[in-house]
Chains A and B, each alone.
Chain A
Amino acid sequence: MSTTVDGSRTLPVRVELARQWRRRRTQVTLGLFALLPVILWIAFSVGDDPTPGAAATSLTDLAQASGVNFAVFALFSSASFLFVVVVALFFGDTVASEASWSSLRYLLAIPVPRVRLLRQKAIVAALLSLATLVVLPVVAVLLGTLVYGAGDYLSPTGESLPYGTALVRILLAVAYLAIHLLWVAGVATLLSVVTDAPLGAVGGAVLVSILSQILDTVDALGSIRNLLPTHEVFAFADLLTLDVDGSDLANGVLSALVWCIAFGATAVWYFRRKDITS
C-alpha cells in the first residue's frame, strides 16, 4: 500500500543539486571560470607592456600592478556579458531542460507542487551561479597575488587601497554583482517556464540583456535609461575607491530587485496555470 506524497518534502535541494551537478555543462562552466584568470595571465605575459607614460591609464594597464588589480580587471571584463550568460544558462535551463527531456511531467506527477519545483530549481541555479561568480575572483586573487604580488590596489583615478581593504572591497563588489544579476535570473526563469526549448530561454535572457545595454547607449532616452536593468552593472566600480559613493550601488540594488521580483512573480503565476504538454 503506497502512501500519498508530502509535497513539502519532494525534490530536496540535495537531490536537485545532484541532478544538475553531474551535467557536463555545469562542470565545464565552473572549470572555464576557474581557468579564465589563467588565460588572462598568459595573455598579459605574452603581450607587450603598456606604453610607459601614456597620458591616460586604464584598468588594463594596471592589471599587472598587483594581485587585487588583476582580480578587479577579471571582474570588470566578465561583468557585463560573461556573468550574464552564466546566470542565464543556469536559470534559463531550470524548467525548459526538464521539458525538453520530457522529465518535467514525471517530476510533476510525483507530485512535486509546481511552485515548489520552481523554487527548488531556482535555489540550485542560484547556488551554481554564485559558485561560478565566486570562483573567478578567488582564482584571480590567488593567481594574481602569486605572480604580481600582494601590492596595493591602484585605481585608474590615481588612488590606492591597501591589499586587505581591496580584498574586502572585491568581496563587496562580488556581492553587488550577485544582487545585480538577480534580474537576469528573473528573466531567464520566466522564459524557462514559457518555452520548452532551453536554448530559447538562455538565449532569450542574454538577448534581453544585450538589448538593454544597447538602449543604454542611446542618449536620446535620457533619464529613462536609469530604469534599464543593465544601467548600473558597473556600479561596483564605486566600491573600489577610497571614498565610496553608494548612490549608484543602491540604485542598482533596487533596480535589480524590482526587475527580479516582477519577472519572478510572473514566472510563478504563469507556471502555476500552465498546461504541461511537453
Chain B
Amino acid sequence: MAGGRPGGGGGGSSGGAAALLGRLATDLPGQAARFSTDPLAARTVIAGSPQVRVTVASVPGRPAGEPVLFAKVYDVAAGGVESGGAAPGNRTLLGNAVSPLRLPAPGPTPTEVTVSLPAVVATLAAGHRLEVVLSTTDQAYAAAVPPAVYRVGLAGSPGTASLAVPTVPGDVRSGTSVPIAPLVAAGVLLLGVLVAWLVARILAVRRRRRDLEPGGALALEEGLADTPLVVRGLSKTFTRGFRGASGLVAVDDVSFTVERGQVLGLLGPNGAGKTTTLRMLLGLIAPTAGELRLFGRRVVAGAPVLGRVGAFVEGAGFLPHLTGRDNLELYWAATGRPRGEAHLEEALEIAGLGDAVDRAVRTYSQGMRQRLAIAQAMLGLPDLLVLDEPTNGLDPPQIHAMREVLVSYARTGGRTVLVSSHLLAEVEQTCDHVVVMHRGRVVATGEVAELVAGGQVAVTVAERRDEAVSVLRGRNGVRDVEPDPADTDVVLVDLGGVDRAEVVRTLVEAGFSVRGVGPRRRLEDAFLALIGEEGSS
C-alpha cells in the first residue's frame, strides 16, 4: 500500500511494503512501494529497459484520482538490508533515473499495468538484488496536489511475479585482468638498468686495470712509494654560478713535497687556499689542474690510498645524537677494517675527554669536539696525519699538549704530520718544515730553522739607537748591522759567529743600556711583508 500525500508527512498506509521503508532516506516512508528480487545467481549485464507488471487499485473510503507514480530500479549489494549485517546495504539507483507515469483513475479492483523502468546499461555482480520502487513523490517532479491513497502490488499470483530484464549474453573469461604491456615495459626497464650497471661495472674494472698499469693515471710512481705527499702544479678554480666565466681561483699552481718523518706546516692567512688544498688531498674536490700523489699514488675521489691518511679538515663532523665514544666506534666500523687496528683507547686518551666521552656530542663544547675530531683522525695510526687548524678553539695548556702529541706522533715509526695554520708562532713551535701560502700560491718553502732566525738577533737599546748601530758596525766579526725599520729602539744584528753575549758587552762598555736581546723573526717579517704588499696594492 502506498499513500500519496503532497507536502510529505506521515502516510496513512500500513502493510508489508511500508514496513521495510523505514530505513530509506531517499524514498519517503508511506509514499513508496518497494519490491525486491531474489539474489542474482550469476553476474548479469542489463542493457535496456527492465519491465514489471504491477497492479494499482484505489482504497475504498479513501480519496483517489489519476495516480502519478515514479518508477525506479536499484542495485542492492549483498550483505544488505535482509542480511542485517553491520554495514548498511548499499543501494545504487540504476541509471540515476526515474520513469514518471500517469495512470487513469483506478477502481477498487486492481488494474494491471506494465511499467517500463528507466533504460540503463549496468553490470550486476552475482548475489546482488534488484529492487523496484514505485513512489508517489519525487524530488524532480511536481506531484498531484489533492491527497490520495493507492494500493500497489505485483501482478500475478504470489511468488510468480517477475521483473523482465533485457540482458546481454556473454561469459567472463577472468574477473582479474593484468595488462601485459606496462609490466613488460617495467621488466625491460629493470633489465636495462641491470645491463647498464653490469656494463658500467665491467668498463670501470677495465679502466681501473688500465690505469693501474705502469704509466696509467692511477699507477704507483715507483720513486715516490715512500714519500707521503707530492703536490705538483695543483690548481683549483671554482666556477661561480652557471656562467662559470669568471671563476674564483682558490689554488694556483701549488707544488711542494712532504717527506717521511716531517712535521710540515702549511702556513698562510685565512683564504690562502690551505683548506682547498687539503680537501683536494682527501679527494673531496677535484683539481682543475695538477695532481697530488700520496705514497706514489694519485689522489682521486675514494682512492684506496686515502686509507693511509687520517684527516681533520675545517672543524669536527660528528653525529650529534651519539656519544663521543660511539662516534669513534661507528666511524671505525665504517672503514671495514678490524677493530684491533683502531687503537681506540689511545685516541681517546689524546682527546682527553674524561667521562664526557659517554655523553652525546651535541652537549660538547667547541674545544671538546675539536679534540675528539683529532682523535678520530688518529684512529688506526695513519701514516700521514693531516690537521687543519688543529689548535683553534683550544686553550693554552691544550695547545701545548697538542703540540707534544703531534711532534711525538711524527717521531715514532716514521709517520708524517701535515698541519695547516694561520698562526706563525704555532708553525714555528710545532713544525720542522713549512710551506707558506698566500692567495692560492706558494710563496716560500723550507726548514723552519732556516727561515726563522738562526744567526740574527734583535737588540733593544734604551736610547741613541743610531749610535749603537755605528758602534756595532765597527766591531770585528759581526756580519751585518742595521736599524729595524719597524721599531726605533731595535738594532738588527747578523751575528756571523760572534756570541750574542759579546754584542751585549760591546754595547754596555760603550755606555748603552741594553733592554733586551731576542731572536729576530725573519719568517714573520717575510710573511707580514708579503701580506702587507698584497693587501695595500
**Does A131 sit at the interface, judged by CB under 8 A?**
no
With the chains together, A148 CA to B16 CA distance in Å?
34
Given contacts A159-B125, A246-B176, A247-B179, contact A107 B334 (CB under 8 A): yes
With the chains together, A3 CA to B382 CA distance in Å?
8
Give B176 Cβ to nearest chain A Cβ, in Å: 4
**Does A164 sit at the interface, judged by CB under 8 A?**
no
Please name all residues of chain A whose beta carbon is closer than 8 Å to the beta carbon of B87 when the two chains form the complex.
57, 62, 65, 154
Please name all residues of chain B whose beta carbon is closer than 8 Å to the beta carbon of A159 when the two chains form the complex.
77-78, 125
Give A198 Cβ to nearest chain B Cβ, in Å: 12
Main secondary structure of the interface of A (DSSP, over half): loop
Quick one: closest B residue to A12, CB to CB?
Answer: B336
B residues 264-312 in Cβ contact with A at 8 Å: 279, 282-286, 301-309, 311
Whether the pair A250, B179 counts as a contact (CB closer than 8 A) is yes
Whether the pair A272, B301 counts as a contact (CB closer than 8 A) is yes
Give B451 Cβ to nearest chain A Cβ, in Å: 30
Whether the pair B189, A5 counts as a contact (CB closer than 8 A) is no
* Interface size, A (range): 35 or more
Most buried by A among B24, B78, B87, B313: B87
Whether the pair B304, A1 counts as a contact (CB closer than 8 A) is no
Please name all residues of chain A whose beta carbon is closer than 8 Å to the beta carbon of B24 when the two chains form the complex.
53
With the chains together, A7 CA to B336 CA distance in Å?
8
Please name all residues of chain B whose beta carbon is closer than 8 Å to the beta carbon of A16 when the two chains form the complex.
334
**Does B335 sit at the interface, judged by CB under 8 A?**
yes
Whether the pair A103, B381 counts as a contact (CB closer than 8 A) is no
Most buried by B among A6, A111, A244, A257: A111
Whether the pair A10, B334 counts as a contact (CB closer than 8 A) is yes
**Does B425 sit at the interface, judged by CB under 8 A?**
no
With the chains together, A7 CA to B282 CA distance in Å?
15
Given contacts A57-B87, A159-B77, A250-B186, contact A105 B317 (CB under 8 A): yes
**Does A156 sit at the interface, judged by CB under 8 A?**
yes
With the chains together, A66 CA to B383 CA distance in Å?
66
Binds A, one of B30-38, B108-116, B227-235, B319-327: B319-327
* Interface size, B (range): 35 or more
Whether the pair A18, B307 counts as a contact (CB closer than 8 A) is no
A4: contacting residue among B307, B313, B314, B341, CB under 8 A: B307
Quick one: closest A residue to B312, CB to CB?
Answer: A106
Please name all residues of chain A whose beta carbon is closer than 8 Å to the beta carbon of B376 when the two chains form the complex.
106
Whether the pair B309, A109 counts as a contact (CB closer than 8 A) is yes
A residues 22-54 in Cβ contact with B at 8 Å: 22-24, 52-54
**Does A243 sit at the interface, judged by CB under 8 A?**
yes
Whether the pair B182, A253 counts as a contact (CB closer than 8 A) is yes
Most buried by B among A55, A98, A102, A110: A110
Please name all residues of chain A whose beta carbon is closer than 8 Å to the beta carbon of B537 when the two chains form the complex.
none
**Does A222 sit at the interface, judged by CB under 8 A?**
no
Whether the pair A158, B128 counts as a contact (CB closer than 8 A) is yes
Given contacts A109-B284, A114-B302, A253-B183, contact A2 B382 (CB under 8 A): yes
**Does A200 sit at the interface, judged by CB under 8 A?**
no
A102: contacting residue among B190, B301, B306, B317, CB under 8 A: B317
**Does A270 sit at the interface, judged by CB under 8 A?**
no
**Does B91 sit at the interface, judged by CB under 8 A?**
yes
Interface string of B318-362 (1 = CB under 8 A from A): 111110001000110111110001000000000000000000000
B77: contacting residue among A12, A113, A158, A275, CB under 8 A: A158
A sample of 8 cross-chain residue pairs with beta-carbon separation below 8 angstroms, ordered by A number, consists of A4-B304, A23-B321, A65-B86, A66-B86, A108-B282, A159-B125, A242-B175, A277-B285
For the complex of A and B, the 5 pairs showing the least CB-CB separation, nearest first, are A158-B77, A243-B175, A5-B307, A102-B317, A9-B336
Taking Cβ atoms with an 8 Å cutoff, the residues of B that contact A are 23-26, 75, 77-80, 86-88, 90-92, 125, 128, 175-179, 181-183, 185-186, 189-190, 193, 238, 279, 282-286, 301-309, 311, 313-322, 326, 330-331, 333-337, 341, 376, 380-383, 413
Taking Cβ atoms with an 8 Å cutoff, the residues of A that contact B are 1-7, 9-12, 15-16, 18-19, 22-24, 52-55, 57, 62, 64-66, 98, 101-114, 116, 151-152, 154, 156-160, 242-247, 249-251, 253-254, 257-258, 261, 272-273, 275-277
- Contacts A15-B334, A101-B317 aside, 9 further interface pairs with beta carbons under 8 A come to A7-B302, A12-B333, A57-B90, A62-B87, A102-B316, A111-B303, A116-B302, A157-B77, A246-B176
